[in-house]
Amino acid sequence: MALTTRLSAVAAVALCAAAHADVVAGWTFQNSAFVSSTVGSSTFTYPQTGTDTAFTGFHADARTKWYNNVGNGSTAAVNSDFWSIGDYYQAALSTTGYTDISLKWDMTRSASGVQNFRIDISTDGGGNWSTVGTQVVLQNSATNGGTWGSATYVSNYTSTISGITAAADQASLLIRWIATSAAGATGGTVRIDNVQIQGTLVPAPGAAALVGLAGLIARRRRG
């Protein structure tokens, strides 16, 4: 195999690797240490398995119970009651080295749970926020494509937001799902599961240089 061909093949591999979407952070809430709260609290922190990510929640009402409930096609998800406008779930992570950030999650509500949410992000620790999407949460019902349960994943409860430019290559990224309407009752619940943030890893300088070298040699050969 000629040198140019070998370099082109290596460059192609490097480009394919760079274009692959990776999971930057995610939560399926299957940690066995995650149990339902028995005492009300305004705040919630999911038991962590790493040091650079966190999933939390905040409600103004300190009577809120944070439940470990059935997920969308899994055994666990985060579920909470006592919702009011401005309450939220929050993911914290780093996207350093990643571009083309996208967000995917599953969410459902009870009949009296909050229906409307806004998705905001912050890259300065919560000092400033920008809105990247909104959501109308489907009630957990067979009429919405199937009942949310552990046995079967139902895609109708899944939402995605792609091309979040401001979230790329950030040492600190906060994502909030914020209630923008009131619950029908204090016992109304909202459940979230399968949170996933994806991105494309920026090629290392060495890989980028290799791609450039292969292209230069190919051009010279053609000339």
Tokens (6 digits) for 44: 């919630």
- Is 214 domain-assigned? no
Q: How much is the average pLDDT of 7-24?
A: 56
Q: Is residue 48 part of a domain?
A: yes
In a domain, 8, yes or no: no
Query: At a CB cut-off of 8 Å and minimum separation 6, what does 145 contact?
Result: 138, 154, 155, 156, 157
The answer to whether the beta carbons of residues 183 and 124 sit under 8 Å apart is no
Q: How far apart are CA 167 and CA 103, in angstroms?
A: 10
Query: Is 94 within a domain?
Result: yes
Classified as helix, coil or strand, 17 is: helix
Give the per-residue pLDDT at 21: 83
pLDDT tens-digit readout, 47-89: 987 666 899 999 999 999 999 999 999 999 999 999 999 999 9
Please count the residues of the chain: 223
- As given in the structure block, the two tokens for residue 162 are 């792609």
Total domain count, the chain? 1
**Is residue 37, in this structure, part of any structural domain at all?**
yes
67 with 78: CB under 8 angstroms? yes
Beta strand segments in the chain, E:
21-27, 43-45, 54-58, 66-69, 77-80, 88-93, 98-109, 116-122, 130-136, 158-161, 173-179, 190-201
**What is the phi-psi region of residue 216: left when phi exceeds 0, alpha when psi lies from -120 to 50, beta otherwise?**
alpha
Q: Which residue has the tokens 């962590």?
A: 48
Which domain range does residue 66 map to? 21-203
Q: Is 5 inside any structural domain?
A: no
Judge whether 114 lies within some domain: yes
Q: Hey, is 209 helix, strand or coil?
A: helix
pLDDT value of residue 53:
85
Asked whether residue 13 is assigned to any structural domain, the reply reads no
Cβ distance 203 to 104 under 8 Å? no
Position 31 pLDDT exceeds 80:
yes
Q: Rounded to whole angstroms, what are the CA distances from 66 to 90, 135, 194?
A: 14, 21, 17
Convert the pLDDT of each residue in 140-180 to its tens digit.
999 999 999 999 999 999 999 999 999 999 999 999 999 99
Instruction: Transcribe 27-43 into DSSP letters.
Output: E----TT----SS--SE
Q: Which CATH number belongs to the domain containing residue 180 in this structure? A: 2.60.120.260
pLDDT at 210: 43
Taking the C-alpha atoms of residue 6 and residue 28, their distance in angstroms, rounded to an integer, is 42
pLDDT top residue among 219 and 21: 21
Distance CA 35, CA 42 (A): 16
